[in-house]
Structure 1
């Protein structure tokens, strides 16, 4: 049974990957026809006009791969489509369309945020919400109203975190691929195979995009960005999977060592912590949260190294946090201690970078 489910997940990965590879030339043609390019300038690090609709393939590839996989399935009843999965599709479609419209004709930040709130509210109304914090800050079972609020807040936070960390080649897609690998392992451990299949299907299309984004050539017309249609849908999917794993229900059993709540914030730690840090920095300087600047983690690292080195450093940091928290969970530390330690380590990492940057500037003078 397990082997058949694993093969199905691999099959869905392959379908999604191949669909994206085959369909990507059509996206390049559409970008050329309608002049849909991300132009250089401002805080952007690229020097050429790059097509920006690569992420438009993520949702179609995901739905196609899962549909083909379920049709090809041998009829066993392990995979059950829950109502929450159907409502996820509705919320995902809304946020996908918002991103697609923004990539083509533009959407104001205010309207985009309002649509994000609507899409975020889909999950609690589908009875999918944080209902147990597993000892985080001393809380276990929490009231429904608080769970609803935390869920909407978390989805908004993750969606915007993934969107804003998409600043250099391969970063957002690379972090999402690593996150989906971890989610696949976590869901397989509790035999939630539908979510393993969905994770692998999404991983396939993102992996194909990653190749075009990182190794595509501008002079050959094979380089592309994901755009908001890609980053928003990836953020929404990451938020959904994290809530699904954290929720205390029949599928995801409570973890006595706090793993159910620790793993979601571990997986999304880098983009979320970076967003919160940048947001507070802007507020303290009297600037709008939406004010663009070069204070994100990848901007700081690029003062010290190349873009590829920055990418490797941040992906490596993801792996380090996963290993640290795996060890901390193995010795049964509570969720609050782990979260606070993660915040301390991330802050120390940022301050170390700032110190090196200041030292470098001082010696240049």
Structure 2
């Protein structure tokens, strides 16, 4: 056991280092030869970014497989078939990244690779497990075409989920971790080595692709070359481990392990067909796009969706090891899938719900411009002026406005809007706004009814009243803001300028 763990750690470290070095060397070369993705269309990024992330993973896997083969652990893996299939799908993806191949050419290449995997590698879906009446559901003569169909589906599912920095890589790592558990329990040492090699390659890629610390955007993308390569290997692993007499897991477990990419791809394609669009036409109705529209930051979206994948994958493993009937595990998966389809089919309801839930979860909105302070007595406005401006002075570039709240007639109230001029990125929003909200809540804790929250400007991107709505009933009363006029009673800026009507000041408060 100790020797196995040591070997796996060494393999993981080596694969990580290979991926890290290859991508690090490739980034400047990609810029020089213009092998990069340019902004535009439905893409989220706004800078030219190399798409060579799959290159690091590819070399890590190829070298790792050679090392495993040299140690005579690949006895049950058709090594040559796997290598040639990986090279073919990787080169196809790389050509697609550069030349933007027609989808028919991509499907042809994917079909050929799937046939090679099934016929030469003997990796084929012969049955779907005991999903009906406790008996194996054999595919018989449709086994080969179903294997090709499933393989192409997984390849494209990974490609379609690759829409945000770090998302596809993080989901792949989570799924690989779950597969590693399955192979370890089943004693599949050769495939465990392959999975650990893939985890190392993906980790090296995530070093450049994730947003963390002060990194404001990805330095490299996975590209079609990486997503198609990972998709093929996921297909290979899941089919092999779920078939045969001594299968390591059931086919239903495989669905749970790769739940998010599969549900996202199938759900979005069903939605496109329902609205009579091409299932291959890209749109912005994936789960991560809905979270972006709900003002979640990129890092938070990656963490949330990865956590969802981890939870769903763990449910699949629990069903496997607790011997829950495959029929009920399939029903559970289909139930989750139906719920997912309902969500993406009605984004005009789901996005506002997420937006209202967003601050309650403690996340900082990507559209946050500052802090809103409401429900304080008008007579205490001078105190609030000194508290707010004193807290902001020399720490922020700000614009403070205090308004009279004319909607309340019983007691004169006021509210303040603190707009911070931040760099428009996720890091600035989190690092500057969260500490300010915490400090203000501490200073103003004597006021029981005061509200302190993130301030988000109303604009067309997240205004439900703008754009096409399916039916008028979808408007909520909470979206109809009051038409009562607001009166500005004080304004101060970080440059020292002050504008006020009720509380005249002859000089700036701070210099």
SS at match of 1:215: coil
Match of 2:126 among 131, 140, 144: 131
Instruction: Report the counterpart of residue 62 of structure 2 in structure 1.
Output: 63
Q: Which moved more, 1:216-225 or 1:43-52?
A: 216-225
Match of 1:101 among 72, 82, 95: 95
In the alignment, the residues of structure 2 paired with residue 36 and residue 216 of structure 1 have an alpha-carbon distance, to the nearest angstrom, of 25
- Mark the runs of 5 or more structure 1 residues left unpaired by the alignment: none
Residues 35-55 of structure 1: CA deviation (Å, up to 9, x unaligned): 122111221111211111121
Going from structure 1 to structure 2, the CA distance change for 1:264 and 1:118 (only over 3 Å counts) comes to same
Going from structure 1 to structure 2, the CA distance change for 1:288 and 1:334 (only over 3 Å counts) comes to same
Instruction: Report the counterpart of residue 297 of structure 2 in structure 1.
Output: 306
In the alignment, the residues of structure 1 paired with residue 57 and residue 247 of structure 2 have an alpha-carbon distance, to the nearest angstrom, of 32
Query: Does residue 274 of the first structure (1) align with residue 273 of the second (2)?
Result: no
Superposition deviation, residue 324 in structure 1: 2.6
Instruction: Report the counterpart of residue 246 of structure 1 in structure 2.
Output: 242
In the alignment, the residues of structure 1 paired with residue 163 and residue 255 of structure 2 have an alpha-carbon distance, to the nearest angstrom, of 21
Query: Does residue 142 of the first structure (1) align with residue 132 of the second (2)?
Result: no
Instruction: Report the counterpart of residue 285 of structure 2 in structure 1.
Output: 295
In the alignment, the residues of structure 2 paired with residue 60 and residue 254 of structure 1 have an alpha-carbon distance, to the nearest angstrom, of 29
In the alignment, the residues of structure 1 paired with residue 52 and residue 26 of structure 2 have an alpha-carbon distance, to the nearest angstrom, of 7
Q: Which moved more, 1:9-18 or 1:339-348?
A: 339-348
Matches for 1:40-79 after TM superposition, within 5 Å:
40-71=39-70, 73=71, 79=73
Superposition deviation, residue 322 in structure 1: 2.2
In the alignment, the residues of structure 2 paired with residue 142 and residue 148 of structure 1 have an alpha-carbon distance, to the nearest angstrom, of 12
In the alignment, the residues of structure 2 paired with residue 99 and residue 254 of structure 1 have an alpha-carbon distance, to the nearest angstrom, of 31
Instruction: Report the counterpart of residue 122 of structure 1 in structure 2.
Output: 116
Going from structure 1 to structure 2, the CA distance change for 1:220 and 1:268 (only over 3 Å counts) comes to closer
Query: Does residue 233 of the first structure (1) align with residue 224 of the second (2)?
Result: no
Q: Which moved more, 1:20-29 or 1:208-217?
A: 208-217
Q: Which moved more, 1:97-106 or 1:349-358?
A: 349-358
Superposition deviation, residue 218 in structure 1: 11
Going from structure 1 to structure 2, the CA distance change for 1:248 and 1:219 (only over 3 Å counts) comes to closer
Going from structure 1 to structure 2, the CA distance change for 1:274 and 1:142 (only over 3 Å counts) comes to same
SS at match of 1:41: coil
Instruction: Report the counterpart of residue 206 of structure 1 in structure 2.
Output: 202
RMSD over aligned Cα atoms: 2.4
Going from structure 1 to structure 2, the CA distance change for 1:135 and 1:81 (only over 3 Å counts) comes to same
Superposition deviation, residue 83 in structure 1: 5.5
Superposition deviation, residue 216 in structure 1: 7.8
Query: Does residue 4 of the first structure (1) align with residue 12 of the second (2)?
Result: no
Instruction: Report the counterpart of residue 150 of structure 2 in structure 1.
Output: 154
The answer to whether the 8 A contact 1:54-1:227 is kept is yes
TM-score, normalisation: structure 1: 0.89
In the alignment, the residues of structure 2 paired with residue 30 and residue 218 of structure 1 have an alpha-carbon distance, to the nearest angstrom, of 24
User: Alignment length, in residue pairs?
Assistant: 353
- Mark the runs of 5 or more structure 2 residues left unpaired by the alignment: 356-463, 465-474, 481-511
Instruction: Report the counterpart of residue 16 of structure 2 in structure 1.
Output: 17
The answer to whether the 8 A contact 1:128-1:243 is kept is yes
Superposition deviation, residue 94 in structure 1: 0.9
Query: Does residue 178 of the first structure (1) align with residue 170 of the second (2)?
Result: no
SS at match of 1:4: helix
SS at match of 2:129: strand
Match of 2:339 among 318, 325, 348: 348
Residues 85-118 of structure 1: CA deviation (Å, up to 9, x unaligned): 4312222211111011112233211101110111
Whose Rg is larger? 2
Going from structure 1 to structure 2, the CA distance change for 1:350 and 1:145 (only over 3 Å counts) comes to closer
Residues 168-197 of structure 1: CA deviation (Å, up to 9, x unaligned): 011111111111111111111121111011
Q: Which moved more, 1:93-102 or 1:350-359?
A: 350-359
Higher strand share: 2
Going from structure 1 to structure 2, the CA distance change for 1:177 and 1:222 (only over 3 Å counts) comes to closer
SS at match of 2:324: coil
SS at match of 1:333: coil
